[in-house]
Each structure stands twice: as C-alpha cells, then as structure tokens.
Structure 1
Amino acid sequence: MSGAPRSTSIAARLRGGRLLSRSSRAYRLTAPLRLLTPLGRGVLVTGLVASGLSARFHWQEFTQLAAVALGLLVLGLLWQLLPGGLVVGLRLRHERIVEGAPAPAASLEVQAGAVPMLFPRVLVPVGRRGVGLRLPFLAPFSRHTEELHLPELARGVHTVGPVTYEKIDPVGLVSRTFSTGPAVELRVSPRVTDLSVFAGGLTNDLDGATSQQLSMSDLAFHALREYVPGDDLRHVHWRSSAKAGELLVRQYHETRRGHVTVLLDGARQSYPRQADFELAVSVATSIALRAVRDDFDTYLRCGPHLSRSRAPVAMTDAACRFALGGDDHLEHAADAAQAVHGTGLVVQVTGGQRPLPDLDAAARLFSREADWLVVRADSAAEPFLRDSGTLRELSVPDLARLAELLARGLR
C-alpha cells in the first residue's frame, strides 16, 4: 500500500522529464522559424509551395520562384551572422523628478557596428511601459544621437532600459532582438508642500545633553590635541601652542541635536482609497523635509523603507519606494523607538480607518517627553484638529490644507 504512491510519483517525474525534454527539443527546432518576420514566413511558405509544385508538374517557373524565395531566406539568415551591432548609451537629463512634473528627456547615443543598418527599431522600456522609435539609416561605424521623451510616470522608482534594438536584413525577412547598455533608475518623488518652521516642543530638545562623539566645531569644549593637516586654523589654541612648541587645536563634544520621527502607516486596511495613501506619502514627506531644513535629525519610515538623515534628497528617495503592505506599523514604531533616542517629536501619518488605540500604543513606545502628533490623510473627511487623550490628532483632506492645520497642531 505504501509503495503505490511512491511509484506513481516516480512515474509522474519521468513523464514530466520526458515532456520537458520534448519541449526543449521542439524549442530548438523551431528557433529559426521564430527569427522570421511575418513577411519571412510568407516567403518561406511560398518557397515550399513552389518547390512542391515544381516537383509535381516540373514547371520551370515554380523552380525559379522556389529558388528565389529560399535564397532570400538564406541570405537573411547569413545577414544575422555578420559581426557588429549597435551600442546604445542611455542618459537621462534628470534622474529625480516630482510627481506631476513633465517627464525628463532621455538621450540615446548610438554607435553603429560593421554592418549597415536600415532604419533599425529601438525600444526603451520605462517601468512596465515602453517607448519605441525608428532610427535613420546607419552606415558602418557611424554615430547618431536621438532625443527621446518619456511618458508621465507615477510616484515610484522606475527602471529605464536596457535599450533593445531589432537587427533585420535589408529585405525584412529575418529579425533578431538584442539588448545593449545598462538600465538606469528614474525616481519620481511625491508632491510636497512648504511648511512653516517647527515650533512648540522642540526648543528644549535643541539644547540636549552632550554626547560622547567628538567634533571639531560645537559648543562643549573637550580637550586640546596636536594639529593634523586639514584642520581648520580657526580652532588653533595659540597660547597653548606657544607653550608646547607645537600647534594644538581645540576639540569639542558634539551636542545632541533635535530629533523628529515621522512614521507612515503602510497597512492597506488603513486607507479606504489608494489616493489617501498617496496623500499620506506627500504629508509625511513634507513634514520630513521641513524637519531636515530646520537642521533636525530626521527619521522617516514606511514599511521596510526608511531614511535617517539631515539631507532632503535622502527623504525624497526613500519616499519614492513607499508602498502599501501588511499591518506592521506597531513593529516598525518599536524599531524606530530603539533606533532614535531622545526624539522631540513623533508624527504618525495614517489613513482614516486606523484605530486610535493602535496609534496611542505606538506613541507610548517613545519617550514621554516627546510631543505626539497623529495626521490622518482622508480625502473624504472634513478637516479637524482635536486632542484625543495623550495624542493630538488632525485630519487633512488635501495637501493644500496641511500647512494651516500643522501650524495649529504644533502650537
């Protein structure tokens, strides 16, 4: 009884292996046919029919027709064996754009090979789409530059390229497709709005406790050390240098800067509409950009994608990759609370369907000295600002209202 299923499994594997072997042989046998264009297949059928009629009726006209048709096919196949091909370099005018802005132009720098190419067709993949164009006649080893306009793209990271081109014989019977050059990434960042300077709750944090990290320019004096080439001469302590007979420079403790933590909820069930999530991405990115412009250490996260920096480009690059996924908001809030110590402001950006107790539980993972703010992106709700227990909550129906509501919420 126990041996029957095993023998059945072995037989199934053998049948599967035979099917794979047959399919691979069929693939190799039909490979030359797949190189033929529709015109090439028509010429092949014409040649075979003419050959049959010539053998049947011994008509000289059919013999000549079959010879011409099959001869053209052989020449087309030999054309594909000739060395040389296109080398296409793809260059984007801008690798970062904002959603809604005109798509950047791409420049194609074409280097022809040893074989002339008659108006080759080039295809440039752009994400899941593609942009095709027909190049002019290319003489051997000629150079050509072509401008290409990309389609409008949604927020995200889009792969552009690699460029593919079609090598076809002069008659148009046999065609092969080749890829050339590397692919490049085009980052489309979300729409943002300019916000006012952060106020309430963050002033004390700017004066924070000194860290153990040494710096060459800060407030807390630490010690003197020997001068190293490249040090700023403004930090030379001339009186001590005169006594020691060598240059000594001041060294400082780096004081702790203000921290802003922005957590974007990436759970699908938090947003009744896809547009609400895109609004939430714009809201979170706008807040993060305001924080880094105010020289705060900023932590921005949504799902597995995060950025911890003072650089605006780091925030927008991270926001390009934000996407809806599972409900792991509380887990990521715990990671942020461990990674960021002494944060002065925690902003949770979510949708209209996230329960408030979940947000309160995430906020309690951080220091009680931090300010807690919840921003709901809900295009179907009226704007409001209210205090819900320990959290201050505001609802934003569109990006234009964010500056006004946030200014009231941070007072």
Structure 2
Amino acid sequence: MTAEPGAQTTPSQTRIAFRAVGRSLAASARSIAGRLAHVARAVAEFCAPVTGVVSTVGWLVLAAAAVSLVIAFTFGWIEFAFLGFTLLAAVLVSVAFVFGRMHFRVGIQLQPARVVAGERAFGRLLVTNAGATPSAPSRIELPVGAGLAEFVVPSLAPDAEHEELFAVPTNRRAVIIAGPAVSVRGDQLGILRRMVRWTDPVELFVHPVTARLRPSAAGLVRDLEGEITKVITNNDISFHALRAYEPGDALRNVHWRTSARTGQLMVRQYEETRRSQLVLVQVTERARYASDDEFELAVSLLASIGVQVIRDATRLAVVTESIALRTATPTVLLDDSSRIEPVERRFPTVRDFVRDATKRLPAPSVVIAVGGSLLPVAEFRSIETLFGADTVTIAFRVELGASSTITKVAGTTVVTVGDLADLPRLVRRVRP
C-alpha cells in the first residue's frame, strides 16, 4: 500500500526500514567475507609450495627485515636499512640450499617389534640412493616416541646404502611410534627447510610385565562343558522335569511313553546351561590411583589374568573407560593393553561405567573388576547389583606395597594386591 502525499512516516515504520537495511548490509558483508575467504584459501594453496619451506625462524627474519626497512625509510636511519637488507640477503642466500632432488629408499625396522617393559629394543634406519647419480649430503629426522633422532646421511653413490642403528627406550609400558622418516634440506640457520617424507610410522609395542598363572587358576570359572543355572528352558541338555503340554510347545519335546501312561501329553523341561563368560573391567580414572606405578601394577594384573583366561579357552571381554581390548589371542590382548592410559572422570560412578561397558555383552558368569587403592570398596560392591545371582563378582584392589589379602564383603570377594609376584598365590586361593 502506497502512502498518500503528505502522510507522515511513523517511528515504527522507520525502525522497520532501518532493520531491513541492516539485514541487507549484513548479508552483503557475509557474502563479501565468504568470497574473500575463498580467494585467500586459493592464494594460500597456490603459494603453499613456496611458503611451506619457510620455517618459523624464516618468518621471524622476514618480519624483522620488513620492520627494519619501514623504520629506515620512515625516519631515515641508515642503520636499520643496513639491517633490513642484510636479513633479506640471508633469506636469498638460504634459497640455494633447498634446491636439488633426492631419490632415496628409506626403511625402518624395529627389533623386536614387541618387548616387555624393561627389555632392550633397537631400531635400524636404512637409506639407499635409488637415483642414477650420486646424492648430496642430507639430514634425516626420525621421531621416536616423544623424542627426535637426527642422522646425517653422507653423499651416496647410485645403489649405495647407509645404515644407522639406534636404541629405543622401553622402560615403561607404551606403544612407541617410530617415524615417519623425513629428509630435510635447508640452510644452517634454519631459515628455509624443505622436508620430504619417506616412510610411514612403525609401532613398537612395549607390553606390561605379567605374572604367569597356572592353567585354570585364572578362571575362577572351572567348567569346560558349561555350567547349569536355575533358569528353566524348553531346549537344552540337562533334564529337569516333565510338565503338561501347552499349545505352542514343540512336538520333539513330547515324552511319548509318559504321555501314553497318563493319557495326557507331557513335555520335557531342561535346566539352562551356558558357556562361561568372563568380563574383566579396569577402572582407569586417574583419581582412583595413588601413583603412576600403582596404575601400571593394575594394568599388569589385568593383562596377567586376561592372558591366562584366553589360554584356558574361556570366553572373555576386557573393557576400560576408553577402549575395549581385543581378546582373540594373548598377543593381541597384550598389544591393546599397551594402549591403556589414565583418563579423567567420564562416569559419575564405577557402577555407571560397568553398566555402560557390559550392556551389549552376554550375561557373564564371572565379573572381575580392577581398581586402585583410592577406589572405595563400596564402589566395588555396587557392581554386584548389576548382575543376577548366578554371576560371581571379584574385585582386585591394587595398593602398591600393601599386604596381599583376600576378604569377603557381602557377595563380593575383594582381593588386595600389593605386588605382582603375589598374584599367582592369590588367584589359587580365590573361591568364588
């Protein structure tokens, strides 16, 4: 509707008009900003081959040169002009050091690929000149865990090899990553650095120290053919009783001799049997342990029990707050146990953690929980309420240096472990 001549514009109409203009300007600004960002990304990608070789030191040198030249031309100070041109000359001279192409074959070998914490492990770096001409001297950088190893590779004739040996620190359980091996070309001041990646990372598994347990001792589950439960079912092995036929019952369960004698169809009932299912859980919350050494003792205990249960061919599930460990073979379990790390609090209580970790698992016959000395016994006991009466709950409470004991708290067996060497004796004494 068009306003008539002489009609006055109300304040509300003015505000509406200003808001419309503001929205239009904001939309235009966003559109322009998006286009500028797209152009900036395109320019950055185009310049990446050049800007990528400039190190942090190089950018600082360029910035210092620019500031010096601005001061020199602004205030006429010849000293700053000399400084600025000297810094620029240093950058230009360093360009010559990044030219050239290398044709290397680089291999990394770790011997052995799996060790127990405290054992020695060595690495081997082999560099081969795969080019048709001699190579120029270069430098190879190899990250090993948290450290960085640097090797100087001399000039190599075609097909010539250069070997470097290095030791890998394995004093603590971990997964140590060696690599990728990167060749570095650049000036001695580190202004420009051209890096070429030659290998993929290689993993070294440092397994936890474990205690050797007797066969069947870790299972605390002693049945091989399946244990009988109190659940009554229509299909199983262990006969329980006969009952009257009901519509829907399978005819194969009809006991014909009794049916003929009583004149009424009678069907068999069975007591349900099941294969043993052991669930092994470790509380890895950092606040539940008094020290890092206590945490390592808990991981060693977890791995010791898990390895023996796998050897006993009992079905096993091993879980922590952060990962579910694979249990196909003892080696696979030990590999995954090398990855266990302390975590911050993720669940309100230990009971919530165990409930979440086991909700997709088959009903267990035995649950073993491992925790630190700062985890109250009441938290261990709360796990028992998650499972039925047929499930045995055993708590291993790790307290470094304490006397190893076994106590019964309500329906939960609490085993206090002060030293890994005590574990075989304690496991033999546990009576679920």
TM-score normalised by the chain length of structure 1: 0.67
- Tell me the equivalent position of 1:205: 223
Alignment check: 8 A CA contact 1:108 1:148 kept:
no
- Measured after TM superposition, the shift of residue 141 of structure 1 is 4.4
C-alpha separation in 1, matches of 2:102 and 2:405: 66
**Sequence identity (%):** 24
Alignment check: 8 A CA contact 2:102 2:135 kept:
no
Q: 2:290 aligns with which of 268, 272, 277?
A: 272
Q: What secondary structure does 1:138 align onto?
A: coil
Q: Quick check: 1:336 aligned with 2:336? A: no
Letter aligned with residue 382 of structure 2: A
- Tell me the equivalent position of 1:34: 54
- Measured after TM superposition, the shift of residue 75 of structure 1 is 8.4
Alignment check: 8 A CA contact 2:126 2:161 kept:
no
Letter aligned with residue 386 of structure 1: T
C-alpha separation in 2, matches of 1:201 and 1:143: 53
Q: Which has the larger radius of gyration?
A: 2
Letter aligned with residue 398 of structure 1: D
RMSD over aligned CA atoms reads 4.4
Q: Quick check: 1:363 aligned with 2:387? A: no
Alignment: residue pair count: 340
The 3 A distance-change label for structure 1 pair 87 and 169 is farther
The 3 A distance-change label for structure 1 pair 292 and 201 is closer
- Tell me the equivalent position of 2:105: 87
Q: 2:175 aligns with which of 157, 160, 185?
A: 157
- Tell me the equivalent position of 2:197: 179
Q: Quick check: 1:300 aligned with 2:318? A: yes
C-alpha separation in 2, matches of 1:6 and 1:403: 77
Alignment gaps of 5+ in structure 1 = 46-65, 211-218, 221-254
C-alpha separation in 1, matches of 2:103 and 2:219: 64
The 3 A distance-change label for structure 1 pair 9 and 153 is farther
The 3 A distance-change label for structure 1 pair 287 and 75 is closer
The 3 A distance-change label for structure 1 pair 315 and 175 is closer
The 3 A distance-change label for structure 1 pair 32 and 389 is closer
C-alpha separation in 1, matches of 2:225 and 2:210: 29
Q: 2:161 aligns with which of 102, 124, 143?
A: 143
The 3 A distance-change label for structure 1 pair 358 and 341 is same
Alignment check: 8 A CA contact 2:216 2:222 kept:
no
- Tell me the equivalent position of 1:214: none
- Tell me the equivalent position of 1:226: none
- Tell me the equivalent position of 2:139: 121
C-alpha separation in 2, matches of 1:189 and 1:117: 40
TM-score normalised by the chain length of structure 2: 0.64
The 3 A distance-change label for structure 1 pair 372 and 139 is same
Letter aligned with residue 336 of structure 1: T
- Measured after TM superposition, the shift of residue 8 of structure 1 is 9.5
The 3 A distance-change label for structure 1 pair 187 and 74 is closer
- Tell me the equivalent position of 2:340: 322
C-alpha separation in 2, matches of 1:288 and 1:21: 55
C-alpha separation in 1, matches of 2:288 and 2:94: 62
Letter aligned with residue 140 of structure 2: V
The 3 A distance-change label for structure 1 pair 32 and 286 is closer
Letter aligned with residue 94 of structure 1: P
- Tell me the equivalent position of 1:223: none
Alignment check: 8 A CA contact 1:131 1:150 kept:
no
The 3 A distance-change label for structure 1 pair 74 and 158 is closer
Q: What secondary structure does 1:206 align onto?
A: coil
Alignment check: 8 A CA contact 1:120 1:168 kept:
no
Q: 1:393 aligns with which of 394, 398, 414?
A: 414
C-alpha separation in 2, matches of 1:331 and 1:199: 29
Q: Quick check: 1:166 aligned with 2:184? A: yes
C-alpha separation in 1, matches of 2:48 and 2:224: 70
C-alpha separation in 2, matches of 1:21 and 1:97: 49
